Structure 1
Amino acid sequence: MTTLPELLDLNLNGYSINDFIVFVNIIADKTAAHPALKEYPEYFTSPEKLREKAALLGQLRDAAANGDREKKAEKVAAWEETKLAVIMNGKHITMLSLHRNDPSILLNTGFNLKQKQSGKPTSASSTDLLAETPGLALKYVQSASGPLAGAFTVVITRAKNKATTELQMSDNPSDESSWKSQGIYAKSRIEYKGQQSEKRLYFKARYHQEGGVSPWSQAVNILVL
């Protein structure tokens, strides 16, 4: 029997609640910016609704922190409901890509691409990314007259080709709440422009693999010119 190909990784069981909330907001941002996702069927959850679900989940997480069983039950129910909404969106993106015969629709959605399994894994494909951390380097963007003001590039050294990497940025690394997600990337270079001059920015990264995440890398920093 023919089944729908699994082109996107829709396994959401490995996320902590905090990571899942970040992930849902990333999906919302990517959906809002995606050129093929301007109109939705009625079963598709819009970016605004996804953000609302993420915000509610955060509220219920905090409310359940004191051990209130009723709030814990509400949190679990909201978490499962949001998982289903995200998975249905992923299925729709998969169907749209197949219907239009356009694999590019699967890119820049916030979802990881489903990795094809090989019968004979090589040393590269057998790398356990959850035991590794990405390497990060920050480089100024150069022009003919020298470095461009407010511009730099984050270069990710990956332990495995096509590994997906989550990037976070902070201007106050000692404050955990200051770290803001920059997205989940399959590419190794992310360019920033128009940043505030004379401001020091910090970056860290971690791998995503099959619903799990690796430890965070050591933070690196750059003084914006």
Structure 2
Amino acid sequence: MIDSTTVRARFPRYDVVDALRGAAMVWMTVFHFCFDLSHLGLWRQNFLVDPFWTNQRVLIVSLFLFCAGLGQSIAWAQGQAWGRFCKRWLQIVAAALLVSAGSYVMFPQSYIYFGVLHGIAAMLLIVRLTSSWGHWLWLTGLLAVLSPWVAQMWLGGAGEDWAALMNGRSLNWLGWITQKPFTEDYVPIFPWLGVMWWGMAAGQWLQRVHSTWLKAKLPAGTQWLALMGRWSLSYYLLHQPILMGILSAFVWLTKR
């Protein structure tokens, strides 16, 4: 049996990558805290159409998926076996199903059926299978990012039947839609696969040309970000119930 010390030696982590993921967690937490304030009527904001909030969401998801691509490039370079990959992948799938169940309890009309964890699970498989594409990952990433706009133009002239098919739940997880579905979180394959492909391409480039950047030490006082990044899945699952619980308790106490 391989002990934990041997595993860490064979598959070392890079604090810089973990800290970048941790920074995304902090940003996400602030965003969700503001969303919860609005949901509970403590601070009215329009998270659906206000560019201040919609653009932040795009940037947060982009940072998450870019980090996922970076992490996968490191795992691929370290020769991670399919068994080890599948173990982590199944954890993400289980977490995605848990998010769907929890969101259905809270938002039955707009529960999350293909959110960020669902998207990550699907995209990780694709990125893993295309790890050997090398420089082509930059181009395929660009095509993936642009594909929803191309699909919208095509669907605009293809007729209502095609648009209805792509907008339906059976296929809207692809992202080639003309109407965004009513759900609390929606991270389809396209365009987001392109961001993860770019993360994979950037990670391969860094390891080939600037490997010392990945091994750099974090500035003093920022190591906690790396710790958050290492436990990102657990933190993601727990932070929102805790935030909502604390704020709901505050609303209940103030109304007594």
TM-score, normalised with respect to structure 1? 0.31
The answer to which structure, 1 or 2, has the higher relative contact order (CA under 8 A, 6+ apart) is: 2
More helix by share: 2
